[in-house]
């Protein structure tokens, strides 16, 4: 993905004139920098911010390195996104599925709402198919691959800050839990909240996770468990919490396989029910952000 865009490129992406884009830049609506030769350049993160806030549809998402949006993908009520995404995932229509989600994102939808809404709903329905249809296994595997591409693409859009001084967020899932999406979503939300995210993914032994915490000294640790049989014993979780506490990190526990009450409530440990709650914790725990009122 490009690091900057010219006013002409951003104007093409939004279907507006280059003169309008330059006028908005002169008024401060779009933050620009200038090259040595005096040419305006717009950082990709600023271009994405403006595109989401301006209210103009992105008519050429390929300018942002994304798949074009087909008319039939977006000409429906956004309230039906979960149903349409499910149909696209079942059909293996990866480009259309990605375009649908990206279109909603550039229309101003938030990552937590996309993750907790259409993506979660569609993948849940896909996961039930194998109970009554043998094809459900390959459908779920294919849909998971498409969903991972979507989350990775969103992660690349929000993770534009490459400052080495960002606080670190680190996490993964336990051994015996092969579900990739929850930890990937956590990484995307952490990136959007300003962290340098380190996603160790599922099937990560507690010892490995604690070693990584000790090495990277994160401000935030997430631990997500989808499979109940893979949930660590309280003693193993205590090992993780001790390492996080030594790093002065806040810990987020979650996932349908992580029972409430597994550990006693603590001021630096949160058991969260959804990605919206995790995103709020990311913002709260980021030491570089102003304290919430």
**Strand ranges inside 106-239, DSSP E:** 168-172, 196-201, 220-224
pTM above 0.85, yes or no: yes
Task: Tell me the three state secondary structure of residue 198.
Answer: strand
User: Residue 71: what pLDDT?
Assistant: 52
> CA 181, CA 54: separation in Å to the nearest integer?
30
User: Residue 54: what pLDDT?
Assistant: 84
Beta bridge partners of 269: 251, 266
User: Residue 179: what pLDDT?
Assistant: 94
CA distances from 133 to 76, 88, 123, 288 (A): 29, 18, 16, 49
> CA 51, CA 260: separation in Å to the nearest integer?
40
| Structural tokens at position 113 | 């709402």
Measured at the alpha carbon of residue 146, what is the angle toward residues 61 and 201, in degrees to the nearest 5?
A: 110
Spatial CB neighbours of 131, under 8 Å, sequence gap ≥ 6? none
CA atoms within 13 A on the CB side of 153: 23
> CA 250, CA 245: separation in Å to the nearest integer?
8
> CA 143, CA 121: separation in Å to the nearest integer?
12
> CA 106, CA 60: separation in Å to the nearest integer?
11
> CA 89, CA 42: separation in Å to the nearest integer?
34
> CA 271, CA 118: separation in Å to the nearest integer?
23
- Do the beta carbons of residue 117 and residue 79 sit within 8 Å? no
For residue 131, give the DSSP letter.
G
The single residue listed with the structure tokens 């939004």 is 14
User: Residue 261: what pLDDT?
Assistant: 80
User: Residue 291: what pLDDT?
Assistant: 53
User: Residue 255: what pLDDT?
Assistant: 93
Regions in the chain scoring below 70 on pLDDT: 1-2, 67-78, 160-161, 289-293
> CA 198, CA 169: separation in Å to the nearest integer?
6
């Amino acid at each position: 993905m490009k690091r900057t865009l010219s006013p002409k490129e951003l104007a093409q992406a939004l279907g507006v004139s280059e003169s309008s884009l330059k006028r908005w830049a002169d008024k401060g609506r779009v933050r620009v920098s200038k090259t040595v030769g005096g040419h305006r350049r717009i950082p990709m993160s600023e271009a994405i911010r403006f595109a989401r806030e301006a209210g103009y549809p992105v008519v050429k998402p390929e300018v942002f390195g994304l798949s074009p949006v087909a008319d039939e993908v977006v000409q429906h009520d956004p309230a039906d996104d979960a149903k349409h995404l499910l149909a696209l995932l079942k059909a293996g229509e990866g480009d259309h599925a990605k375009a649908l989600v990206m279109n909603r994102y550039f229309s101003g939808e938030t990552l937590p709402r996309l993750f907790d809404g259409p993506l979660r709903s569609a993948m849940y329905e896909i996961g039930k198919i194998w109970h009554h249809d043998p094809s459900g296994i390959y459908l779920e595997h294919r849909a998971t691959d498409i969903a991972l591409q979507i989350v990775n693409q969103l992660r690349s859009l929000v993770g534009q800050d490459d400052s080495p001084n960002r606080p670190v967020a680190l996490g993964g899932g336990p051994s015996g839990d092969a579900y990739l999406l929850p930890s990937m979503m956590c990484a995307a939300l952490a990136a959007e909240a300003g962290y340098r995210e380190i996603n160790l993914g599922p099937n990560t032994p507690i010892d490995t996770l604690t070693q990584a915490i000790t090495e990277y000294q994160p401000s935030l640790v997430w631990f997500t468990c989808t499979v109940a049989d893979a949930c660590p014993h309280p003693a193993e979780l205590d090992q993780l919490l001790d390492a996080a506490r030594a790093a002065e990190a806040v810990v987020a526990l979650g996932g349908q396989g992580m029972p409430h009450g597994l550990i006693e409530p603590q001021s630096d440990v949160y058991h969260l029910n959804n990605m919206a709650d995790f995103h709020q914790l990311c913002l709260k725990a980021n030491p570089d952000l102003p304290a919430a009122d």
